Amino acid sequence: MVNDDLSRDEPSGELEIEGTPTPCSYLPGQTAKMTYRLAYKLTEARYEQLLSRGWRRFGRTLFRPTCAACSACQSLRVVLSEFEASKSQRRIRTGIEETELIIQRPTVSPEHLSLYNRYHLDMHHRRQWPFREIDAAHYFDSFIDGSFSFAREFQYRRDGKLIGLGLVDMTRNVMSSIYFFHDPELRSDGLGTYSVLREIEEGRALGREWLYMGYYIQDCGSMNYKNRYRPNQILQRYVSDEETPVWQ
């Protein structure tokens, strides 16, 4: 079981920074504000404690929302031991069995960058996401920096070609789904759903308790899909390091 009691004996190795209010990327008309922690070191136990309090990780940067007038971002985690795929999820899982999964430490290559940029350019055209071509240094900062022992990438290949890539953290007790991108030409295959199902399968096989899926936003089409993976739990409120988080 995850130990939610934060140790006072060992320094956390984190620098906390308050972000500034900006227009919300998910809900029109709302203002977003984040709190950040820069992790100089991060043990598995400490990371599990932070995940249970709603923190997310990109590279060395941990973050969670502290919006003054909105609480739409809700941390969601899937109960792995009780998960049951829906009919549509089972259909997607069966339909692309020929996809090979390779799990390894995160890396960066021209193949990674090409896939990432093609995916985001497609999302820019279809959903008006802002687009800036990523380079190796930016990718490293976002997904690899810190070289944490629990960091993994899930490579999805078809006939040797990289068609999807998921960044996933795997600690002793839990998993955290960080980010996924895929070949936009295969959008109709349901690779996003397939990647979550494979992460769930891997977590169940290894006896992990939960898959943290980040922030569920009911009124945002890009974020409300997470509630389709059930049973799941929602963090009732964001608490300090000294308080016990409540999930229901």
pLDDT at 127: 83
Number of structural domains in the chain: 1
- Tell me, yes or no, whether 69 lies in a domain: no
Find the mean pLDDT for residues 15-42. Answer: 96
- Tell me, yes or no, whether 37 lies in a domain: no
- Tell me, yes or no, whether 8 lies in a domain: no
Find the mean pLDDT for residues 137-162. Answer: 97
- Tell me, yes or no, whether 13 lies in a domain: no
Mean pLDDT, the chain, whole residue set: 94
Distances (CA, A) of 193 to 26, 86, 94, 165, 213: 20, 11, 12, 13, 12
**pLDDT at residue 1 above 60?**
no
How distant is the alpha carbon of residue 155 from its chain centre? Answer: 15
pLDDT at 146: 96
- Tell me, yes or no, whether 51 lies in a domain: no
Among the ranges given (97-101, 157-161, 182-186), the one the predictor scored with the smallest mean pLDDT: 97-101
Q: Supply the CATH number for residue 133's domain.
A: 3.40.630.30
pTM for this model (two decimals)? 0.93
Task: Give bridge partners of residue 162 from the DSSP assignment.
Answer: 157
Find the mean pLDDT for residues 132-159. Answer: 97
- Tell me, yes or no, whether 131 lies in a domain: yes
Residue 147 belongs to what domain range?
75-234
Could you tell me the pLDDT band of residue 13, with boundaries at 50, 70 and 90? confident
Distance CA 22, CA 227 (A): 26
Read off the pLDDT of residues 172-222 as tens digits, 9 standing for 90 and up.
999 999 999 999 999 999 999 999 999 999 999 999 999 999 999 999 988
pLDDT at 171: 98
**Locus of tokens 């909105």:** 70
Q: Are 155 and 102 in contact (CB under 8 A)?
A: yes
Amino acid at 96: I
- Tell me, yes or no, whether 5 lies in a domain: no
- Tell me, yes or no, whether 53 lies in a domain: no
